[in-house]
Amino acid sequence: MFEILQKLEKTYNGKDLTMLKRAYDFAKKAHANQKRASGEEYFIHPCTVAHILVDLGLDAATVAAAFLHDVIEDTPVSEGDIKKEFGEEVLELVVGVTKLDKIRFNSKEEEQAENFRKIFVAMAKDIRVIIIKLADRLHNMRSLNFLSSERQQRMARETLDIYAPLADRLGISQIKCELEDLCLKYVEPDMYEYLSSNIDEKLKESVDLVEHVVDEVKKMLADSGISGEVFGRKKHLYSVHRKMKERNKTLDQIYDLVAIRVIVNTVDECYEVFGKIHHKWKPVPGRIKDYIATPKLNMYRSLHTTVMTNFGKVFEIQIRTYEMNHAAEYGIAAHWKYKENKKEADDLDTRLSWIREVMEWQGGLKDSKEFLNSLKGDIYSSEVLVFTPKGDVISLPKDATPLDFAYNIHSQVGNRCVGAKVNSKMVPLNTVLQVGDVVDIITSQNSKGPSWDWLKIVKSPSARVKIRQFFKREMKEENIKMGKSMFEAEAKRRGYSMSELVTDQSFEHVASKLSFTGQDEMFASIGYGALTVNHVIVKFIDFYRRSQPKEEITKFISKNKSSSGGVNVKGMSGLLVRFARCCTPVPGDDIVGFISRGHGVTVHRRDCPNLKNADYDRLIEVSWEDTATSSYNATIKVIGNTQTEILTIVASVVAQFDLDIVSTNGRVDGKSKRAIVDFCIRLNSIDVLNSLIVKLKQDPKISDVYRTAN
Ligand code: MN
């Protein structure tokens, strides 16, 4: 604990130092008499967290917040106290960390996604909160052996799943490596034991060789008048473990347990050394990586090569500048160390852009599972490098497609993309790109923009954001309105109402197929023509039909049964039925009902001249009641090319079933030019009706058949 005070004296001065000392005293007092699971004083924990952050080079506010990070949660100290003593900035950091502490990562995917969201919200507000949290987790992992084995497992898993990848993504390899090794110890204790004892054994064997290679490279530098450092660096256990697993190899088959690192002053010198090394030793194909020209997603920069040395042993060599080396160790934290430096500020912006991206698209992703997957995809993604036709290198996430490539170039290129060539051959847009592919995107000014399917194809979050942005722009009020009225008209034409088709349930079902997140999105894309209304509506109709319970249909049939005066009135019971005196219909006549106000239904012959001027809305289908009381009328709507065709087909099928058609009523839709015929069919069981519909659907000339009510 005195160590940290000395460290503070050495690192900070002036107002910063005074504040940090006050934070130290404040936390010490607040945590007095508290103990950790290990039995040691609680205050050791915030001190260690602060220490880690000082070593990372964080600013005074962050370190002060580290001292105070557990006081709100574990002591009577209030937010107001901290604000009064240390001001708004420190308070915000402490509150941020406290909030993150409350996040428990469960196995439930839904909750995990929600938790990730919280982390990203915190990061977007102030990235330093996450850095404090990482330091906090690091110290907790270091002292994990005092907890129950169940908590050890949970913490280690959580760290491996969330915090180590976050540290990696922020480029803080120091923390990442230590976290991973600590996790391995608890998650796979046997493997940890095996590796930690055997790697050192193996290293002893090769220590002379490593020294030899280091000497050779040093000589190389001296000969070229380049000043720099050369040393061997042991790989951390977890990375060896990962390599064994990924490449399915035993420890003996992993040759790069040590990497030779060369650190020089300039980028030019990096490449000079790189060339000299390849001149001296043969590089292993496929193992040369230029992360200077194309930095990793976490901004890691370095040259990597693996060479066969003249002593018959393969070595990995990493070449970088001092600045790159520092950035590789400290990642995003390096920003605070060189705060004055303008270039570093830009760098921070680039480093943080992915967080903004995540924030942006998480707003558009309502489905937490999708969110979680995309996020994991982003954090864990490895990369594939491909080329533009001009030879520029583009780095994309693994399994990326030409669409990812197009959006990486520019959102306009993506939005207008109509095709792609890979290595001069036309390919489908969902083709998975391979390392070294030359990708040429074909665009067209006439393109209507991205399609919703693209959201399923693209692998990079940024492409997904851009596609969603496009849709968002198109989400104008008039498009939504237009789409809605198109949908409504089509629904009506097919004999449905909008409200029976579009329910929360049915939307959820359709949305999962077409990747919408809201009804507005759906209507808008119908409105501006990205989707045809037919494409969407058939999915709703399908859902509607499948979700109609059988009782409903039975009810409908029995409702139809009600009759009066030997006449069925469609869908109504208990009505007063009279026969019109003008045309005196008799059983067998084609009849129609007229709803007269206060007098029930008057039944006319359909050809009755008095009906010609009747109010069409007041006409109602009626039919003669069959003497066989066990049979009922059911109505179906059949859609096809022409009325004659429909009538012929239905008549023959109905005859096959030995049924009667009670009435038909056909028309041609003005817009789609398709024929629609309603049939009233007399039958005696619902099963017969169902098989009739199935049979009709099998005919290719019939495009749709369904029951109608009322
Ligand atoms: Mn803590």
Q: What pLDDT score was predicted for residue 124?
A: 61
How far, in Å, from the CA of 69 to the mean position of ligand 1? 6
Q: Which of 3, 9, 25, 73 is catalytic?
A: 73
How far, in Å, from the CA of 114 to the mean position of ligand 1? 22
Low-confidence ranges of the chain (pLDDT < 50): 340-342, 361-368, 371, 379-380, 550-563, 627-630, 710
Q: Reduced to 3 DSSP states, what percent helix, strand and coil does the chain have, rounded to the nearest 5? A: 55, 15, 30
How far, in Å, from the CA of 334 to the mean position of ligand 1? 23
User: Of 505, 511, 584, whose CA–CA distance to 547 is shortest?
Assistant: 505
Q: Cα-Cα-Cα-Cα dihedral of 636, 637, 642, 643, to 10°? A: 50
Is-contact 75 31, C-beta < 8 A?
yes
Q: What pLDDT score was predicted for residue 320?
A: 96
Q: Which of 16, 59, 74, 256 is catalytic?
A: 74
The span from the CA of 98 to the CA of 116, in Å, is 16
The span from the CA of 245 to the CA of 238, in Å, is 10
Map tokens 């060789």 to a residue.
209
In what helix (H) or strand (E) does residue 637 lie, and over which residues does it extend? strand 632-640
Residue 556 tokens read as: 């409908």
The span from the CA of 23 to the CA of 449, in Å, is 56
In which order are the strands placed within the sheet that holds 675-683?
660-668, 675-683, 632-640, 702-708
Q: What pLDDT score was predicted for residue 76?
A: 87
Residues 51, 53, 58, 61, CA torsion sign:
negative
Q: What pLDDT score was predicted for residue 342?
A: 47
HSE-CB at 184 with a 13 A cutoff on CA atoms is 20
How far, in Å, from the CA of 500 to the mean position of ligand 1? 54
CB atoms within 10 A of CB 372: 20
Q: What pLDDT score was predicted for residue 550?
A: 46
- pTM value is 0.54
How far, in Å, from the CA of 153 to the mean position of ligand 1? 18
Q: What pLDDT score was predicted for residue 373?
A: 54
To the query of whether residue 73 is one of the catalytic residues in this protein, the response is yes
Map tokens 């220590």 to a residue.
207
pLDDT in tens, 503-512: 888 888 888 7
SS3 692: helix
pLDDT in tens, 312-335: 788 899 999 998 998 888 887 776
How far, in Å, from the CA of 93 to the mean position of ligand 1? 13
Q: What is the phi/psi pair of residue 233, to 5°?
A: -130, 125
How far, in Å, from the CA of 176 to the mean position of ligand 1? 18
How far, in Å, from the CA of 330 to the mean position of ligand 1? 21
Q: What pLDDT score was predicted for residue 571?
A: 64
Is-contact 356 406, C-beta < 8 A?
no
